[in-house]
Amino acid sequence: MTMDRRTFLGNSSLLLSAAALGTAPVEAGQQPMTPNRKHRLVATEEAFATPEQVEAFRKCKDTLWHDPDVDLWNVFLTSETLMRRLLDVDHERISIMDQAGVDMHVLSLTSPGVQLLNADTATSLATLANDQLAEMVKRHPTRYAGLASFAPQDPARAAKEIDRAINKLHLNGLIVNSHTNGEYLDNPKFWPIFEAATACNAAIYIHPRNPPAAAAELLKADVNLWAAIWGYQQETGLHAMRLIVGRVFDEFPKLKIVLGHMGEALPYWLYRIDYMYKNATLIYNNVSGHRLKKLPSEYVKDNFLITTSGMNTHPVLQYCHSVLGPDNIMFAIDYPYQESMEAARFMNSAPLPEPDVEKIAHGNAEKVFHIATT
């Protein structure tokens, strides 16, 4: 079932509510939030855009192409606040960081990065964005670090760009926005990307985007569960599971993958994933076609880090801490899509042992993304 454009835009405007952009007016009788500075905060999933990227999305908008991310950007482009905040790194962003007591943003090109575009355009846009990102970091070396983009559409050139971005531009890690044209990184044709990332000791943040059109339609029609309310974690959790059962970590045991949103639900599912993998062999031997060297949960613990982006809830943090330990969790806000002040308050008041909060608030990010400690 399809939605007409008006219904679609009406429903989608929920995604762009003032609250979602961190500009919600304070309701009568409510106290404005104040910062509760305590820890150094390095936020690890913080989006920016380049003018060239926005222009590319504008061009997609003028076509009849219906990718769910094109549809989403048709809405995003109507928000002046969102566009201003994505395109700014020198003014408003730093003052919002200062207000909330956030020391550093680890910047990454906003979703879906360059992955909507053809291989040539995507490759040159990623190169340009990485150059611009390196300049941003150079202008504000104590406030920003950066994750480099690459175009999986052309794995060989992506591998070269990864090497350049890490070894020449000295960016801090890598970002990819889940699938590319409906294909996932467990497909061995993409493995030059993992070779390059492990050779550079660069972690790859797998950030959400909408699933391919057919799957997105099931999340959109009638229920409007695409994008960040549910569709993103479904898509990105699937991607992570595909890497595990696709033997990527048996092939690249040193590879580090970062997942936002408290691990896109993976930590919650570990028991059942292992149980079914061990016991439902009638189904799962046939599905994966081979045995893994370790249990799925062991790869989650050994090869993944998760971030708190957009999940400012202490019970989930405590759960993830108890399952994954203090070394595999990093603070994130998801600026400008979610609230900086709320995220900072959540982190500074985390009900965990102080040394563990220090690791989560900044220490793990400094280690994984090779950020100089000040």
Which residues contact Mn ion by CB under 5 A?
45, 334
State the nearest-atom distance from the C-beta of 291 to Mn ion, in Å.
35
Q: Which is nearer to Mn ion, 39 or 105 (CB)?
A: 105
With 0-12 CB in 10 A as exposed, 13-18 as middle and 19+ as buried, what is 250? middle
Among the options 67, 163, 334, 356, which is catalytic? Answer: 334
CB of 334 to Mn ion, least distance (A): 4
Q: How far apart are CA 9 and CA 148, in angstroms?
A: 32
Residue 119: strand, helix, or coil: helix
Whole-number minimum distance, CB 235 to Mn ion, in Å?
A: 13
Q: Which is nearer to Mn ion, 47 or 159 (CB)?
A: 47
CA distances for 18 relative to 15, 23, 108, 171, 244, angstroms: 9, 5, 23, 32, 38
| Shortest distance in whole angstroms from residue 292 CB to Mn ion | 29
Please say if 69 is a catalytic residue.
no
Among candidates 274, 335, 325, 322, which has minimal Cα distance to 304? 325
Q: Locate 167 and state its tokens.
A: 């070894």
* CA atoms of 134 and 148, how far apart (whole Å): 9
- Among 12, 241, 231, 266, which Cα is nearest to 112's? 231
User: Are 151 and 110 spatial neighbours (Cβ–Cβ below 8 Å)?
Assistant: no
> Which of 208/296 has CB closer to Mn ion?
208
Q: C-beta of 154: minimal distance to Mn ion in Å? A: 24
Please tell me the total number of residues recorded for the chain in this structure.
374
The residue among 45 and 264 lying less far from Mn ion, judged by its C-beta, is 45
Here the tokens at position 60 are: 């997609």
Burial class (CB in 10 A: 0-12, 13-18, 19+), 353: exposed
Please say which residue, 239 or 247, places its beta carbon nearer to Mn ion.
Answer: 239
Q: Give the residue numbers marked as catalytic.
A: 334
